[in-house]
C-alpha cells in the first residue's frame, strides 16, 4: 500500500510519476487506486444555521444564511482541530495503517440523503463520540471522493497496534449511522516502512 498526502492533484500526479520511475515502481503493479481530498464535515454547523434561518423566517441559502455560513466556515477552518484534519501528518509513533472506502446507503427504506439535516447531524455527532474513545490509540484521516471515485469517502487509520483497527471498526458498526446507512469497500492493512 502506498499513501500520498499532497497539497494538490498535480502534486499527487508528480508523486505517482516519481514512484512509477523508481526501483519500487518497476516491480509493483497497482491493483487499486483511490483519489480523494481531506475534508472536515460541517453537519453541526449547517444544521445550526438552518435552524436559525427557520426561526427568523428565512431559509437555507438566503443571503443571511450564506453570509453566516461563510463566516463560520472560515473560523472553523482556522481552528487547530480542523487544520489537523485538513492537513494531516503521518504519525511517527503509529506504524500500522488501515484504509477502506465507504459510501452512505441509498436504499429505498434507508437513504442517508433523504434524512433531514438535523438527523444527519445528530447521527454524525454520535458516530464521532464513538471514534473519540480511541483518541491517542488511533489517528484517522477522512477524505472525500465524491466526483473523484466510485466511493464517497476514504478512511485511513493509523495505530501502534493493528488490533485497534478491529476494535474501532467493530464499535463503529454498532453506531446507528453505520448500521443503517454505511456501505464499506475492501479493507487494506499495512505497516509503514522506510524507503
Catalytic amino acids?
100
Under DSSP, the state recorded for 109 is S
| Element at 158 (helix H, strand E) | strand 153-159
Q: What are phi and psi for residue 183, nearest 5 degrees?
A: -120, 130
For residue 92 the three cell numbers come to 511517527
For residue 30 the three cell numbers come to 497497482
Helix pair 43-55, 117-132: axis angle to 10 deg: 150
- Which of these, 147, 183, 127, 156, lies nearest to 38 by C-alpha position? 156
Q: Are strands 182-184 and 96-104 parallel, antiparallel or unpaired?
A: antiparallel
- How far apart, in whole angstroms, are the C-alpha atoms of residue 109 and residue 175? 18
| Element at 80 (helix H, strand E) | helix 80-86
Amino acid at each position: 500500500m502506498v499513501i500520498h498526502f499532497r497539497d494538490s492533484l498535480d502534486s499527487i500526479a508528480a508523486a505517482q510519476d516519481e514512484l512509477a520511475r523508481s526501483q519500487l515502481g518497476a516491480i509493483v503493479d497497482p491493483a487499486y487506486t483511490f483519489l480523494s481530498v481531506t475534508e472536515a464535515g460541517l453537519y453541526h454547523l449547517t444544521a445550526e444555521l438552518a435552524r436559525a434561518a427557520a426561526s427568523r423566517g428565512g431559509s437555507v441559502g438566503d443571503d443571511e444564511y450564506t453570509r453566516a455560513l461563510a463566516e463560520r466556515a472560515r473560523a472553523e477552518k482556522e481552528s487547530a482541530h480542523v487544520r489537523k484534519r485538513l492537513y494531516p501528518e503521518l504519525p511517527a509513533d503509529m506504524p500500522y495503517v488501515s484504509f477502506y472506502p465507504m459510501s452512505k446507503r441509498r436504499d429505498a427504506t434507508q437513504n442517508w440523503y433523504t434524512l433531514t439535516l438535523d438527523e444527519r447531524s445528530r447521527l454524525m455527532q454520535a458516530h464521532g463520540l464513538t471514534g473519540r474513545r480511541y483518541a491517542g490509540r488511533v489517528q484517522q484521516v477522512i477524505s472525500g471522493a465524491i466526483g473523484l471515485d466510485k466511493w464517497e469517502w476514504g478512511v485511513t487509520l493509523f495505530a501502534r497496534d493493528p488490533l485497534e483497527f478491529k476494535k474501532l471498526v467493530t464499535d463503529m458498526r454498532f453506531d446507528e449511522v453505520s448500521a443503517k446507512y454505511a456501505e464499506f469497500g475492501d479493507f487494506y492493512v499495512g505497516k509503514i516502512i522506510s524507503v
